[in-house]
Amino acid sequence: MFEVYKDKSGKFRWRLIHTNGRVIAKSGEVYPTKVKAVRGIWGALAVINGG
Residue 21 backbone class (left: φ over 0; alpha: ψ -120 to 50; beta: rest): left
The pLDDT of residue 38: 98
End-to-end CA distance of the chain, in Å? 21
pLDDT in tens, the chain (51 residues): 999 999 999 999 999 999 999 999 999 999 999 999 999 999 999 998 987
Q: Where are the domains of the chain?
A: 2-48
According to CATH, what is the number of the domain 2-48?
3.30.160.160
pTM (2 d.p.): 0.85
The pLDDT of residue 10: 97
